[in-house]
Every structure is written in structure tokens, then in C-alpha cells.
A and B are shown apart, each in its own frame.
Chain A
Amino acid sequence: MSRTKDRKVIALAPIEIDADPEMRPLEFGLISRLFTYTRPYKNSRNALIATVILRALQLPILTWGIGRIINTTIYNGDVIQLIQDVSLFGLMALFTEITFHYRMKLALTLGELVVHDLRTEIFEHLHRMPMSFFDKTKLGKNIARATSDVEAIRTGVQDVFFISMIQFGQLAVSALFMLYYDWALFLIVVLLAPIIWGINKYFRVRISKSTRRSMETWSMITATLSESIRGIRVTQGFVRQGTNAEVFRGLVAHHANNNYGVARSTAVMFPLLEFNQMFFTAALVLVGGYRVLSTDFHLPVGNLIQFIFLSQLFFGPIRVLGEQYHQALTAMAGAERVFALLDTKPDWEDKPEAVGITSCSGHVEFKNVSLAYDGKTPVLNDINFTALPGQTIALVGHTGSGKTSIINLVSKFYLPTSGEVLIDGRNILEITSRSLHQKMGMINQTNFLFTGTVMNNIRVGKPEAKDEEVEAAARALDTFDALSALPNGFQTVVKEQGTGLSLGQRQLICFTRAMLADPKLVILDEATSSIDTITEARLQKALHLLLKERTSFVIAHRLSTIRHADLVLVLDAGRIVERGSHNSLLEIENGVYSRLYRQFSEA
């Protein structure tokens, strides 16, 4: 029964809120490291601190001023004095708000500057990492470092520290004032403060928990929606609309209940805090009134009024500090993750003594090369072969046989665990990655395109190329007509992930891109998809032109490509099991290649 029910779920939504904790205790190391990011802007930071100190004093003074005017000047009915006092109060208010203006502007700007610098640092750091790093970490996590985590840090930098300072100042100054006016009333305040703090803390934890639950169902809703829309053809083709709608209704109801849960926490918290406030005022009226009226104390009535004002100045910060504390913990968690990323050392970097190559003939040699991505399980074992300049090397074998690994080594995306990869007789370790990549043209299976025009996508191969050069490259590959025939020719805009272009068109762009780079080494992971025969023929022709007189490594899925290769390496479980030309390999009776070939030709 439960099985059938499970099946109705349109999508078991991927909930990606896994290991990343939302909060982290305050840690001095992290704080001081964050603080170093404000160092380049120390003038505005110091100015900010000055405004913060000013404000911590100004606010209690203003409040005290109101009370003072009411309980002395007005109380005594001195009109002249009143005008003077009120004008003074106005000036003070103006001064306070001017300070506030600078305090806000400086804080916001400082936050943005720090965030900007962090983002740049993260981006540059990520681009220093070798490929192995990207195989291990998910794209979404790396993006989260530069977005949500950095945003958490922003609040930490621009708000938490400075607002807390101001609020502490207010708290302290107003406490001193209150203590000065009446110690007994202050005692009530002191007793209530921890209760308010406790309520705040308790409910903040509850709210953050229920918010998390609500976020989880929310991510299920968006994931389900996205699948429903992408799979709409399947849904309508299989007449599932009714079932899906029922499932979605369940999800939405679940989410609504979670939101209701969030509301429940706030619905208890705020009235409770308000009740506290009311309780406090009542206590003031009672105790304060008693102390005013009783002959033992003779508390002036003005002091009581001062108290009512000042107590608000005291309780406000408790609430705000609670919020800021919560924010601080979130910022800590963000900072911890960002710094952990920035502290990740690349598994390897170019040796300092590595040199840039200026020319390259395209002679590639593998000498006893082995590779284990995790350092233990070898994916390549004792690989030996030589590619002469201009040769095409076809790599053939089942998925997981090690074709991609060989390509990864030639392009120095990975370093061999043992053995040597030599380019023009020089160990690849002694060549800078950059100079090597400048001699290389790469076409990967996904035919990755950037958003932007077709022209700019081709220019990836040679950023400084003029339009004419791009067109010349397209003519040389005989792709010019096909690319000109796009809706806006070379200026056609490629949308995210190449949508809007057919697979064949994307491949033509990638071929032209590689051609423009005019590489000595071509690395091609052939797309597996078959395209209609005419387009296919055109691609083969372009490919033939591209590979001519260049050393190339091709993960081949097409017979014609293999047939044109000078050397076919047949891989199985990380070893070269057969090698030779297409024809010579076919002669091996019951050989791996002839078996593979039979499958090809039978299909």
C-alpha cells in the first residue's frame, strides 16, 4: 500500500540543505580575520566607529532631554526656559540625525566593500584550483560561498558589530540614568531584563527551526514545480495531470502548515513581549506612585516620568541585541565556510621552476604512466605510447576504461601518479599549464557555450581575435555558411547552456572556436548523439579540416573518426589492450576491437 502511495510522488525533491550548519558560536579567530578585511578601508572604518560612539551617547541624551523638559521646565511652567530648552533639543536632534546619516552610509558602504573583496578573492581562488577540486565539490556549494555565505558576512560586518556597540552603549547609559533617578525602580528593570532576554532567545530558536522546516517544504515545492514543467510532455502524454495535482495539493498543504507553524511562534512571542511591557508600566505606576506619594521617599513625580521614557530605551536594546546575536552566529557560520574554502590549498600547482613554452611541435609521449584519482584505485596502469606531430590518436573502449583520464593527463588537468607525460620531449611538470593550454584546442562532449553571441563564444579560443579572423576560421572549417544562417548570424545570442541552438550548431561553434585558437594539440571528446545524416556529414568534414596537421586525441564514438586515426588505442580497465590502425586491429581474431567493431556494424 505504502509503495503505491510513494509512487504517486511526482518528485522526491532534492533537499540540498545537507551538511552546512546555519549557525556557529562566536569565535575570536574568525572575528579578527573578518576585521582584517576592513583594514584597506581603515579611515572610513575609524570614522564609523566614531559615529557609533557618538550615537550610543546621543540617543539616551535625547530621551533624557524629553523627560527633563517635561519634568522640570514644563512642570515649573517656565515658558522662556521652555523655548530655550526646546530649541536646544531641536539642535541636538539635528546633530543626532546627521550622525545617523553618516553612520548608516559608512556602515553600508563598508559592508559592500568587504563583500566585494571577498567575492573577488573567492572567484580568483576557485580559478586557481585544479580540476580535481571541481570533481569533488558541487557547483551549488561553490556558488553559495560567493553568494549566501558572503551575504551573511555582510550583515556581520555592517550591522552586528556596530549596532551591538550602539545598543550596549544605550543600555549602559540609560541604566546609569535610571540608577541615578531611583534605584528601587531600577531593580524592577533589572529583574525583568533576563525574562525578556530569555523569551527572545527561546522563541528565536523556535522560529529559526520552524523557518527551516518551511524552507525544506518550499524547496520541495519548487523542485516539484520545476520537474512538472520540464516533464509536462510526459505528464500530458501519460495523462497524469489529476494525480500530479493531487500530490502537489498535498505538498502545498504541508508547506502551508509549516508556515502556520512559523506564525505560531511569532504569534506567541510578540504578544508575550508586549505583555511584559505592559506589566512593567503597571509596576512602575504602582511602585513608582507609591514611592512618590509615600512620605518616606518623596520621589519627585518628574523622575517617575523620566523612568518611563528611559526604560523603553533600556528594553529596546535587549530585543535588538537578541536579534544581532542571532545574526552574528549566522555570520560566523558563513565566515567559517568562506575561510575554509579560501584556506583550501590546491592539490597541486605549477612548479615554480616550470617554464612557458613558446612553440610546440605536438610530439606527445606517455612513459609508464599510472593515475589514481584518489591515490589508491588506479584508473590508468602503466600507459606507454607516442603520438608523433600531426597524428590523430583515437581512444576506444567502454565507459570507465580510462579514455577521459588520458585526455585529462595530456591537458594537464591532472598529474600522473607515476610515470611521465612528455610534450616535445619535455616533462609536462616543467611546463606551465597556461602556456600549454594556449597551444591546445579543446572540444568537450557537452559542447559548453557561454551566454553571449556566437561570435564571442568562438572568440573564447583567441580573445583578441578580430571579427575577420573569426570569420576566416569559420571559412577554413567550412562552417561559415552554417553559422551565418543562424537567425542573427554570428551575432545570434546564445542563451543559458546553449538553449536555442541545436546540438549540431553547438558542435560547429565549438569546432570553430578550437580552429580559431590555431592549436598544435587538439583534444576532442566526441559527442555521442547522432545528428541527421546531412549535418553529420558536414561535421565530419569540419572535423577532418580541424585535425589536419595537428596532433589530436579523440575519444571516438564514430567509426569514420576511428578509421581516419593514425593510431587507435583500445583501452580496457585502465590498460591499453590493443593498439594499431583500424585495419590492423580488425585482423586480431576475437580481439576487443573487432568485437566492438562488430557491434558497430551490426547496429
Chain B
Amino acid sequence: MPRQWGGADLRFGSSMAEPGASWGKELSNREVVIRLLKIAWHYWGTCLLLLILQGVLLALFLAAVELTSVGIDFIHHKIRPSIQPPRWPFYFQPDATWTSTEVLVVIALLMVALGLIRGVLNFWYKMKEADLIERQVMFDLRSGTYDKLQRLNFSFFDANASGSLINRVTADTRAMGTFISMVVIQTVILFLSLLFYFGYMMSIHVTLTLACLSTIPLLYYLSSRFSKSVRDDYAKSAELADTMVLTLSESLSGISVVKGFAREDIEKEKFQAINCHVRDQKKSIFNKVSLFTPSVNFLSHINIIILLAYGGYLMSKGEFPLGQLVVFVGLLQQFAGQVQNLSNITNTVQQNLIGARRVFEILDAPIEIANQPNPLPLKKARGSIEFKNVTFGYKHAEPVLENLSFEIKPGQCVAVLGPTGAGKSTMMSLIPRFYDPQEGSVTIDGLSAKTLDLEDLRKSIGIVFQENFLFSNTIAANIAFGHPEATQGQIERAARSAIAHDFIMNLPKGYETVLGEGGLTLSGGQRQRLAIARALLLEPAILLLDDATAAIDAQTEKEILEAMDHAMKGRTTIIVAHRLSTLRRADVVFVMEHGRIVQAGRHEDLLNSEGHYQRIAELQLVDAKNLYNSAETKS
């Protein structure tokens, strides 16, 4: 029964009215616990069933224990009639006419029957629990977190390393699941069973129970102190192990640098140092572990000693039956085990809360860029773009774009040129509303981008990124990424326009070739052309090409330019480029520097007016002219 946690309807997200109220502010432990309990409350029906089942299981267990002790005492009484007859449970009294063998058979059969019922119930319990945790809680948490994650603004992804984001959907949601299964359910069960055991033992003999359990507080104290004290050691150990693996993997992935600079010995020393560090750091863990476990064992031996001494004394006075002494030994062990579990749980709580807090951070993160109420549809864009006094910065204090204004007519091709950090990519990312400007406005077809339906807006724009990410999937699926229902015909048409069809057909499996890790690796030029095809499949009115010819040698660049010429026809195009060959083709060239357009005009005009463009052109032309000159003089 999957729960839908659609974008705005994030059931477990912050219920606070104003978005961003909790964003950036750490939730306190108490808040996290309350929210986790609220989540658990969604599954209260199953939780209750689990608790009831566990109660029944415990009762059955004690009944079986009782039967064992009755069995022993019955035998004991038969051969030594002087001692008390057994205390029969459940108001059950064997008929006086039964032979002792018959009584034994009845006891044995009852025990087997109890065992059978317990087995079945136990199975039911375990399956129900797995169903709750795995198929409901974990499923809801993971798909909900992923769903939200995908809708978050780019600024969130800029601020968080991808490894950390992956962990939030994997390990951190697991920590939340653990909180529900361990803390919410197990703790209740633990207390329940401690209560059952305690009650049962008390019902047998009060002072003996108290005497035997006198070491329990010490056990609890030792266990919780132990796990607290090794936690940091383990964390440190994991960290060292990570560094060690990193050292190894770096040395191997940079093996040509290592060998090329004759650095093998230095690398060995480096690895040896961290390897020794890992080994030596473990000593303290080993010491603690090997002190703790035997101590706990010894504590349970002390319990037994108390039982034997005091219980034996009671028995000699005839106040305590033999069978119950035997089952007491077993119960004491159970009890001590549960107390240790409890101390483990209390220690994992802290870690669970850290994980949960990180998940809530995602669930609570506001989606700043979303549709306004009653957005305007944009089904068939014409493709005019206007920036009006746009100011934008990733951090408020440092604007990347300052008071930027320009207008692009439908079907125009604009080339943008400028040094790294001038704001070219930033400017482009405002058009599909990856970010919203802090001041000024971006208008498409005369309408403010903010008022347009976000999905319509983005579907009218084809984007080719600077680093084109292709998914580990078939080529066809990658081209059809923005429109998964596209027909093979549409996909091929897009590929042809991007001059990609021929190379795709030359691949062993054509359009069904799988890319990525474990699949085929494409050259930079091929990847670019697939990215262009992916953008063209949408038949966008606006085409944004961010430095699409960067990672390519001259030979492939020619092919890509051809592809782009095709692609640009009839579309408003903005293209970031460095090479004159590209700049020459544009209707208008913008020269950007420090977030402003410092020059704008046709290539020929800019070339003849003093300024940045001329300087850059000269730098490139020096090379080319020398070539021409030398070639001409020789021939």
C-alpha cells in the first residue's frame, strides 16, 4: 500500500505555514523525536498488532518455562514424596487416577503444542514486522525523500556534496526506519518482556528475584558506558579506513602519474603510514571489547552464584522447589540479555536522530521555485527573451549578474563570450528558472517567467549543458529523456538533426546501445551530439547551448557546428562560445565581464571597435594568421 507523497503534499514535511521557517535552523532532539513518533503513528495499526503478538509470545514462553519446572518438580515429588508437590498452573490438576507416565506424556505434549503455536506466531510476527519496516516505512521514507530531493532548487545541490545527498536517501532514511523498529517497537517489547519476566520471577519468590537481579543496574551501567566509549573509537576507525581506501584508490587511479614521477616508494610509505595508523588505532577498541565482554559474562556468573547460594539455602529449608531453581537459571540469562539490548538501543538513538535530522532537512527544504497560483500556460512559445535590470548572486552579498538588461527577438542567434566567472552560464540558467533573479525580471514572449507554468516553460527550452550528463541507459532512452513516450521515428529525427544518427547506427546495437559504467564510453563529441539530440527532441522554441564545443578537438568541432547550424534554424538560440568560428555565425555577440554585458553587436562591427572582443580575436587570430602567412609564403 504505497503512500503518495506528492510534492506539496509532503505528509512528513514541515507543517509550518511559512516555508523555510525551519530551514537552516537545526531541529532540537525533542522536535526530531516528536516528528519521528508522529511518523510511527501513521502505522499504529500494525504496531499495535506487533505488540499484541509479542505479548502472546511472551506469555506462551513463560507457560513453557512453567511446564518444564512443573515436569521436574513432578518427577522430584514422585521419588521424594516428602517434598512439596508441584504447583500446577492454569487451575489444571491431573486426575489422581493417572499414572505418572500419563502425566509426563501430557506435560510433554503440552510443551510441544506450545512450541508449535509459538513457532507459528513467531513467524507471523517476524513477517508482519518485516512488512511494516521494509515494505511500508522504508518504502515511504525512501520514495518520499527521493521525490522531494528531485524537486529541490539547484542551490541545494550546489551546497551539498552528492555523496551526502545519496546517504540521506539510503543510510539516513534507514536510521529513521531503525528508530521506528528499534526504539518505538523494540523498546516497548523489551519493557514488556522485562516486566513479564520480572513479574513471573517475583511470583515465584520475591527476595530471591531481587537478590539475583541486584547486579542488573551494574550491567546496564557497564553496557551503556561501554558502547558510549567505543562509539568514538569506531567512528575514528571508520574514518581512518576511508582515508586508507582513498589513498589506495588515488594511487591506483593516478598510477601513470605515480610511475611517471618515479613515486612508487613515496606512495608505499604513504600507504604504510595510514595502514599502520589503522592497525594501531584498533588497539584501544580491542582492549575495550575484550575487557567488556568477559566482564558482562562474569556478572551473569555472579547472578548464578547468588541464585545457587541463596536458592540452595531456600531449597534446603524446603521453601523452594527444584524445578523452579532450574528455570530460574534460564530466566536470569534471558533477563540479562534483554538489559544489554536495552542499553544498546539507548546508544543507537543518538545516531538515529542525527540521520533523521538530515532527512528532515530535505523534507523541510523549501521549494523556492514553483508555480505561482494560476500560472499562465505556454504551449507554443515564439521565443523572445528579455532581461530587465536583472541582478542575481548565488550568495546575496556577491552578485554574479548586475543590472543586466537585453532583448532577444524570436529566431535570433546570440553568442556570448567572456572569461570564466563572467556570469555566462548563470545568465542562461535564469531563463528556464533554475534560479530566480533577486532583482529585475526575465520575460519570455513578453510575459514574466515567474507567471508562466514552470513545466511549460522548461519544455519550451532545449538545454545543452557545459558538462553533458548522460544516464547509464540506452542511447534511445537518453535522447528521449525529456519525452519518454517519443516514438523511434521522433528519436531518429532528433538524432539526424544533431548529426548523430550515423555514428549511432555504426554502434553494435545502434539506438539500443547502453551507455555509461559497464556500457559503452562515447567520445566527447559524440556525447555532445547526443545532448543536442536530446534537446532537439523537445522541438523547443528556445535553445540554450552552454559552451557545447568545449571538450572537443577541431575535427569533431566541425561536425558539432554543423549539427548546431541545423539545430538553430527557426529557434531563438543563445550560445556560449570562445572560438571565432562560432562567434562569426551569430546574429549578435554579447561580451560579458563581471556580470555585465560590456560589448554587444555583430562580429564584424566588434572586430573593428576597440575593446575586449578585439583583444580576444587578436589573440586567436595571431595563431591563425601566422599559419596563413607561413602557408602562403611557402606555396
A530: interface (CB < 8 Å): yes
Chain A proximity of B317: nearest CB distance (Å): 8
Contact pick for B101, options A98, A277, A290, CB 8 Å: A290
Complex: A517 Cα to B461 Cα, angstroms: 50
Q: In chain B between 587 and 635, which residues have their CB closer than 8 angstroms to a CB of chain A?
A: 616, 619-620, 623-624, 626-628, 630-631, 634-635
Q: Which residues of B contact A90 (CB under 8 A)?
A: 301-302, 305
Contact pick for B257, options A123, A146, A308, A444, CB 8 Å: A444
Query: Which of these binds chain B: A234-242, A340-348, A376-384?
Result: A234-242
B309→A82 contact, CB < 8 A: yes
Query: Which of these binds chain A: B204-212, B213-221, B286-294?
Result: B286-294
Digitize B508-525: 1 where CB-to-A-CB distance is under 8 Å, 0 elsewhere.
000000101111000110
B115→A235 contact, CB < 8 A: no
Additional 20 contacts, C-beta under 8 A, given A245-B146, A442-B260: A11-B516, A12-B474, A69-B308, A86-B305, A96-B297, A97-B294, A97-B298, A97-B301, A139-B249, A222-B166, A236-B434, A241-B147, A253-B143, A267-B127, A286-B104, A289-B75, A292-B79, A441-B261, A533-B619, A559-B554
A252→B142 contact, CB < 8 A: yes
B115→A279 contact, CB < 8 A: yes
Q: In chain A between 266 and 308, which residues have their CB closer than 8 angstroms to a CB of chain B?
A: 266-268, 270-272, 274-275, 277-279, 281-283, 285-286, 288-290, 292-293, 301, 304-305, 308
B465: interface (CB < 8 Å): yes
Query: Which of these binds chain B: A109-117, A161-169, A199-207?
Result: A109-117
Q: Which residues of A contact B516 (CB under 8 A)?
A: 11-12, 14
15 contacts between A and B (CB under 8 A): A14-B517, A74-B322, A74-B325, A104-B290, A225-B146, A228-B146, A239-B454, A239-B455, A263-B129, A275-B118, A279-B112, A292-B75, A411-B260, A413-B259, A601-B627
B578→A82 contact, CB < 8 A: no
B414: interface (CB < 8 Å): no
Q: Which residues of B contact A102 (CB under 8 A)?
A: 290
Chain A proximity of B239: nearest CB distance (Å): 14
A54: interface (CB < 8 Å): no
Chain B proximity of A281: nearest CB distance (Å): 6
Query: Which of these binds chain A: B13-21, B184-192, B395-403, B478-486?
Result: B478-486
A460: interface (CB < 8 Å): yes
Known: A245-B147, A271-B119, A529-B550. A142 touches B484 (CB 8 A): no
Chain B proximity of A125: nearest CB distance (Å): 11
Query: Which of these binds chain B: A329-337, A566-574, A581-589?
Result: A581-589
A13: interface (CB < 8 Å): yes
B268: interface (CB < 8 Å): yes
Digitize B530-559: 1 where CB-to-A-CB distance is under 8 Å, 0 elsewhere.
000010001000000000011111110110
Q: Which residues of B contact A603 (CB under 8 A)?
A: 554, 557-558, 561, 579, 581
Q: Which residues of A contact B557 (CB under 8 A)?
A: 603
Give the residue among A69, A229, A437, A535 with the most B Cβ atoms within 10 A.
Answer: A229
A426: interface (CB < 8 Å): no
B88: interface (CB < 8 Å): no
A222→B170 contact, CB < 8 A: yes
Q: In chain A between 122 and 138, which residues have their CB closer than 8 angstroms to a CB of chain B?
A: 123-124, 126-128, 131, 134
A590: interface (CB < 8 Å): no
Q: In chain B between 283 and 326, which residues have their CB closer than 8 angstroms to a CB of chain A?
A: 283, 286-287, 289-291, 293-295, 297-298, 301-302, 304-305, 308-309, 311-313, 315-316, 322, 325-326
Chain A proximity of B599: nearest CB distance (Å): 14
Q: Which residue of A lies closest to B301 (CB)?
A: A93
Contact pick for A583, options B127, B455, B630, CB 8 Å: B630
Known: A10-B473, A69-B312, A233-B154. A239 touches B518 (CB 8 A): no
Q: Which residue of A lies closest to B558 (CB)?
A: A603
Give the residue among A4, A74, A228, A496 with the most B Cβ atoms within 10 A.
Answer: A74
Q: Which residues of B contact A275 (CB under 8 A)?
A: 115-116, 118-119
User: By DSSP majority rule, is chain A's interface helix, strand, loop, or mixed?
Assistant: helix
Contact pick for A237, options B251, B257, B463, B581, CB 8 Å: B463
A101: interface (CB < 8 Å): yes
Digitize A62-99: 1 where CB-to-B-CB distance is under 8 Å, 0 elsewhere.
10001001100111011100110110011001101110
Complex: A120 Cα to B270 Cα, angstroms: 11
A234→B469 contact, CB < 8 A: yes
Q: Which residues of B contact A260 (CB under 8 A)?
A: 127, 130-131, 134-135
A437→B68 contact, CB < 8 A: no
Q: In chain B between 95 and 123, which residues have their CB closer than 8 angstroms to a CB of chain A?
A: 100-101, 104-105, 107-109, 111-112, 114-116, 118-120, 122-123
B252→A100 contact, CB < 8 A: no
B374: interface (CB < 8 Å): no
Complex: A67 Cα to B131 Cα, angstroms: 43
Chain A proximity of B270: nearest CB distance (Å): 9
Q: Which residues of B contact A444 (CB under 8 A)?
A: 256-257, 260
Contact pick for B260, options A16, A109, A266, A440, CB 8 Å: A440
Q: Which residue of B lies closest to A435 (CB)?
A: B262
Known: A142-B252, A248-B143, A304-B75. A229 touches B278 (CB 8 A): no
A244: interface (CB < 8 Å): yes
Give the residue among B71, B279, B308 with the most A Cβ atoms within 10 A.
Answer: B308
Complex: A430 Cα to B263 Cα, angstroms: 20
Q: Which residues of B contact A77 (CB under 8 A)?
A: 315-316
Q: In chain A between 1 and 27, which residues have their CB closer than 8 angstroms to a CB of chain B?
A: 3-4, 6-16
Q: Which residue of A lies closest to B628 (CB)?
A: A601
A502→B115 contact, CB < 8 A: no
A528→B524 contact, CB < 8 A: yes
B489: interface (CB < 8 Å): no
B162: interface (CB < 8 Å): yes
Digitize A416-437: 1 where CB-to-B-CB distance is under 8 Å, 0 elsewhere.
0000000000000000011101
B394: interface (CB < 8 Å): no
A74→B254 contact, CB < 8 A: no
Chain A proximity of B504: nearest CB distance (Å): 15
A437→B581 contact, CB < 8 A: no
Contact pick for B315, options A74, A94, A229, A599, CB 8 Å: A74
Complex: A342 Cα to B171 Cα, angstroms: 35
Contact pick for A124, options B2, B169, B268, B473, CB 8 Å: B268
Q: Which residues of A contact B538 (CB under 8 A)?
A: 238
Digitize A523-545: 1 where CB-to-B-CB distance is under 8 Å, 0 elsewhere.
10000111111111100000000
Closest 8 CB pairs of A and B: A278-B115, A263-B130, A238-B482, A267-B126, A442-B260, A77-B316, A14-B518, A437-B262
Complex: A86 Cα to B517 Cα, angstroms: 66
B238: interface (CB < 8 Å): no
Complex: A531 Cα to B547 Cα, angstroms: 10
Q: In chain B between 463 and 509, which residues have their CB closer than 8 angstroms to a CB of chain A?
A: 463, 465, 468-469, 471-474, 476-477, 480-482, 484-485, 488
A47: interface (CB < 8 Å): no
Q: Which residues of B contact A358 (CB under 8 A)?
A: none
A93→B116 contact, CB < 8 A: no
B423: interface (CB < 8 Å): no
B458→A239 contact, CB < 8 A: yes
A283→B108 contact, CB < 8 A: yes
Complex: A441 Cα to B260 Cα, angstroms: 7
Q: Which residues of A contact B2 (CB under 8 A)?
A: 249, 253
Q: In chain A between 430 and 487, which residues have their CB closer than 8 angstroms to a CB of chain B?
A: 433-435, 437-438, 440-442, 444, 448, 450-451, 460-461, 463
A41: interface (CB < 8 Å): no
B151→A278 contact, CB < 8 A: no
A413→B471 contact, CB < 8 A: no
Q: In chain A between 511 and 566, which residues have their CB closer than 8 angstroms to a CB of chain B?
A: 513, 517, 523, 528-537, 557, 559-560, 563
Known: A243-B484, A245-B143, A263-B127. A66 touches B165 (CB 8 A): no
Complex: A386 Cα to B361 Cα, angstroms: 64
B11: interface (CB < 8 Å): no
A147: interface (CB < 8 Å): yes
Q: Which residues of A contact B450 (CB under 8 A)?
A: none
Chain B proximity of A498: nearest CB distance (Å): 10
Q: Which residues of A contact B311 (CB under 8 A)?
A: 74
